Structure formats: C-alpha cells, structure tokens
C-alpha cells in the first residue's frame, strides 16, 4: 500500500476543531477516555478492533485502570494523515 500524504498544519487544525477532546502532540493526535473502572476500559479497547481493522489503521493504546489514552499517527508517512482523522471520528462515535 502506498504511503498516505501527510496533512498540512492548517488542515490538521481544521479537523481538530470538529473533533471532541482530541489534541495534537507533535506528529500525533491523542485523546483520553475515562471509564467507571478497568472492565469498562478494556471493553472499550475491544470495541476499537473492528474500526481499526476496517481501515487497516491501528491506534497506540495505553490502558490505565479507568483511563484509555488513544494516540493516532501514520508512522509510515511520518505524521498525520486522513486515516488518523477517519479513525478518530469512528472512535468518537463509539463513545457517543
């Protein structure tokens, strides 16, 4: 699969403006999700499998008891691409 083009800063800013609670950290975007406890946090992580596999784009996931920190970046492109924002939108829909 060919590398996806990295988005320009103004396009990244525009897309972040419409996402809920996602923040840019260098060449990635990240969001922290909070849950009642570990079972709910890990159940959320399991829900990420289908959308990630569906677009063949996989998040970095950090589980901390009642928190899940998701980081998205297209490593092979060296920055943020359309896939990162597409997956962020799908993840946001999971939590309503």
> Residue by residue, what is the 3-state secondary structure of the chain?
CCCCCCCCHHHHHHHHHHCCCCEEECCEEEEEEECCCHHHHHHHHHHCHHHHHHHCCCCEEEEECCEEEEEECECCCCECCHHHHHHHHHHHHHHC
10 is catalytic: no
Active-site residue, from 9, 40, 53, 60: 53
Given the residues 58, 66, 82, 92, select the one marked as catalytic.
58
Is there a catalytic annotation at residue 60? no
Note if 66 is an active site residue: no
Q: Is 92 a catalytic residue?
A: no
Active-site option among 9, 13, 21, 76: 76
- Residues with catalytic annotation? 53, 57-58, 75-76, 84
């Amino acid at each position: 699969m060919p590398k996806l083009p990295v988005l320009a800063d103004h396009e990244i800013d525009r897309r972040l403006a419409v996402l809920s609670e996602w923040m840019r950290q260098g060449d990635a975007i990240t969001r922290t999700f909070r849950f009642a406890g570990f079972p709910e946090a890990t159940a959320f992580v399991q829900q990420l499998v289908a959308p990630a596999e569906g677009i063949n784009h996989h998040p970095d996931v950090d589980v901390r008891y009642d928190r899940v920190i998701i980081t998205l970046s297209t490593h092979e492109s060296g920055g943020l691409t359309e896939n990162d924002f597409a997956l962020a939108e799908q993840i946001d829909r999971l939590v309503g």
